[in-house]
Amino acid sequence: MKRAAGSVSPTGLLFAAIGGAGLALPFVTFRENRIVLGEGVAAWAAVPPGAAAFCIAAILGGLIIGLATDRPWPRFGGSLVGLAGLLALLSASAEALLADALDLARVAPGAGVWMLLLALTLLMADALSALKPGPSARAAILVVLLGALAAVLASGLLADISTMQEYRARAASFRAETIRHLWLAFGSLGAAALIGFPLGILCHRRASLRAATLPTLSLLQTIPSLAMFGIMIPILGWVGATVPGARSLGIAGIGFAPAFVALLLYSLLPVVSNTVAGLDAVPRAAQEAARGMGMTVAQRLRTVELPLALPVMLAGIRIVLVQNIGLAVIAGLIGGGGYGTFVFQGLNQTATDLILLGALPTVLLAIVAGVVMDILVDATRKIPEESA
């Protein structure tokens, strides 16, 4: 049922309530150094009243615009205005609190910042969902948003925030661990695709192979992630110690290899099962038509079955990619590198800022990867309709 023009959006009301709660909570936390707990500071307490009022008005204005249910573009714009006000207030608060503080002092986002960020990003996502942009439009919006984020980080607007201070102290290490994290997530995905797609095709063709393969892969999927990483350590340690040349290739009990193999094993079930499901869903009429045209089995697979099954297969790739980006964090626990290195260092040092240095890019990378894969899935679904 279509809502009347000018009605209030229930989701917008929820986001406004979350944002209102965020303004009531401590906005930032001021600490004498990176380890102590510190004290919470309200949104209006650190900066001059005029600047605070302007920023808070932008945040509230964005949330109020989000209450409209029939205006998705203004709601999207409102989320951007609110986020701009939030970042400006966060930057001004950090600058003011650190002006007369000692060199070791830190200002970190408080519960209020995280609540407001949650409310405004949910508002943005809800507005985009209502707009229902096509794949090209979504890709353009994603590029613009990532460009805006990169501009904010490069501008130094958030330079005084504690997590950015941790980044500056570890910039070279952060770049190296980023590359390692990408290798873990995308490399294991590529290996799973090379193994899983042919295996899925064979399982589709042979019921007996499917009956043996899918339950085995399902069993691997049920093993807890930390246990899987632990199991790989003695196995690959034995391989590295006994197989000639294995250690020179980096295969050892700890490090990159066990993390990579564990992620590969976790990746196989979604790839294989979605390949089977996609091929099973190919209409029989399309197969019969291809057979009637005299196509061979290989030609039917290449020109008919795989193109029609591609959206389901890519959905499996999406599951694996987002899953591996998150699971790769655990690699830091066994010397595999990646963003988990900072997370576990921060846990050992009781340094929240260092934990966030690893956690925040992981979350961002997973979100971007999920959106990109959703765009690809939708784009491939339109191919059969356009060629019909």
Quote the DSSP letter at residue 8. B
Q: Is 323 exposed, middle or buried (0-12, 13-18, 19+ CB in 10 A)?
A: buried
- Say how many residues make up the chain: 388
| pLDDT, tens digit, 9 for 90 and up, residues 144-168 | 999 999 999 999 999 999 999 999 9
| pLDDT, tens digit, 9 for 90 and up, residues 320-379 | 999 999 999 999 999 999 999 999 999 998 889 999 999 999 999 999 999 999 999 999
Q: Are 133 and 81 in contact (CB under 8 A)?
A: no
Higher pLDDT, 245 or 1: 245
The candidate with the shortest Cα–Cα distance to 196, out of 178, 221, 179, is 221
pLDDT value at position 3? 54
CA dist 27 and 306 (Å) reads 52
106-109 sheet: strands from edge to edge: 39-41, 28-31, 106-109
Q: Are 266 and 225 in contact (CB under 8 A)?
A: yes
What pTM was estimated for this model as a whole? 0.92
pLDDT at 179 over 80: yes
pLDDT at 385 over 70: no
CA dist 340 and 185 (Å) reads 12
pLDDT value at position 253? 81
Q: Is 333 exposed, middle or buried (0-12, 13-18, 19+ CB in 10 A)?
A: middle
**Any idea which residue has 């249910």 for tokens?**
69
pLDDT at 383 over 60: no
CA dihedral 112, 115, 120, 122 (to 10 degrees): 180
**Which structure tokens are listed for 225?**
């992630």
What Cα–Cα distance (Å) separates residue 294 from each residue in 205, 297, 305?
19, 10, 15
Q: Domain segments of the chain: what residues?
A: 10-161, 171-387
pLDDT at 294 over 80: yes
What value does the mean pLDDT take over residues 63-72? 89
Confidence of residue 250 (pLDDT cuts 50, 70, 90): confident
What value does the mean pLDDT of the chain take? 92
What value does the mean pLDDT take over residues 66-91? 93
CA dist 162 and 100 (Å) reads 16
Element (H, E) at 30: strand 28-31
Pairing of strands 106-109, 28-31: antiparallel
**Which structure tokens are listed for 241?**
């110690």
Name the fold adopted by 171-387: MetI-like fold (1.10.3720)
Q: Are 312 and 319 in contact (CB under 8 A)?
A: no
Sequence-ordered list of residues with C-beta below 8 angstroms from that of 102, at least 6 positions apart, any chain: 32
Quote the DSSP letter at residue 132. -
| pLDDT, tens digit, 9 for 90 and up, residues 105-134 | 999 999 999 999 999 999 999 999 999 999
CA dist 148 and 90 (Å) reads 17
pLDDT value at position 4? 53
CA dist 342 and 194 (Å) reads 31
Element (H, E) at 240: helix 225-242
Query: What's the longest Cα–Cα distance across the chain?
Result: 82
Q: Are 256 and 184 in contact (CB under 8 A)?
A: yes
Q: Are 263 and 328 in contact (CB under 8 A)?
A: yes
Q: 3-class SS at 107?
A: strand
pLDDT value at position 34? 80
What Cα–Cα distance (Å) separates residue 216 from each residue in 89, 115, 213, 273, 287?
53, 42, 5, 12, 30
pLDDT value at position 388? 39
